[in-house]
Amino acid sequence: MIDKFTIDTAEIYITRFTPEEEAAGQIGAQRLAVARLLLYALGRDTAVMHRDDGSPYIDGIGREVSISHCKGYAVVGLYDGARFGIDIERPRATLQRVTRKFLSADEMKRLRTTEELLRAWTIKEALYKAAAAPGISLADGLVLPTPESPHTSYAKKDGIAVPYKISSFVYDDCIISVALPAAE
């Protein structure tokens, strides 16, 4: 089964791995599930290419693509605008141990629960993909939404805070976050 959501003009396709995909191992399952999502979304088999920075693209479709997967799930986003990012994750104990690597000091003060940390991680990963700035600090270069501005995040690129519109939602036991360029 494939589920489809739309956020602004971004199309988000999500699936659980099939038993056949899971039999191929985690990496094989990821590739097969992404291929199945793209076939569903585009109506044809499609080769995923990678830019020099590792980000995916599909030649000839005239749209940006973002891909993410976690244990048992894959998600593909297609967007008619500029670079954007998507991330999916399931709860895992390791997030508690690595908060200093992806949260600023201020963010650590206000985020405590597993769900808050998981949402923060997926937002930062989606921002990282959208910002296309290799080497940017997850903790200090990517800024989470605040209670005062719950749908806006920033990526600090070359000293400039670039705004992104953030959407996060729960899917089964996963959190999915999408970072789209904010209207200027």
Question: Domain-by-domain residue ranges, the chain?
Answer: 2-181
Q: Choose the CATH number for 2-181 among 3.30.300.130, 3.20.20.450, 3.90.470.20, 3.90.1150.10.
A: 3.90.470.20
- The pLDDT value recorded for residue 74 is 99
Q: What is the pLDDT of residues 102-161, one digit of tens each?
A: 999 999 999 988 899 999 999 999 999 999 988 899 999 999 998 888 889 999 888 889
- Provide the strand spans (E) within 80-181: 85-89, 142-143, 152-157, 160-171, 174-181
Sign of the torsion formed by the C-alpha atoms of 67, 43, 25 and 4? positive
- The pLDDT value recorded for residue 150 is 87
pLDDT bucket at 173, cuts 50 / 70 / 90: very high
Amino acid present at 112: R
Q: What is the pLDDT of residues 8-65, one digit of tens each?
A: 999 999 999 999 999 999 999 999 999 999 999 999 999 999 999 899 999 999 999 9
d(Cα 94, Cα 165) in Å, to the nearest integer?
Answer: 27
Query: Residue 146: CA atoms inside 13 Å, Cβ hemisphere, count?
Result: 8
- The pLDDT value recorded for residue 184 is 52
d(Cα 11, Cα 138) in Å, to the nearest integer?
Answer: 26
d(Cα 51, Cα 114) in Å, to the nearest integer?
Answer: 33
pLDDT (average), residues 96-104: 90
**Range with lowest mean pLDDT among 66-70, 111-115, 178-182:** 111-115
| pLDDT over 80 (residue 179) | yes
Phi and psi torsions of 135, nearest 5°: 90, -5
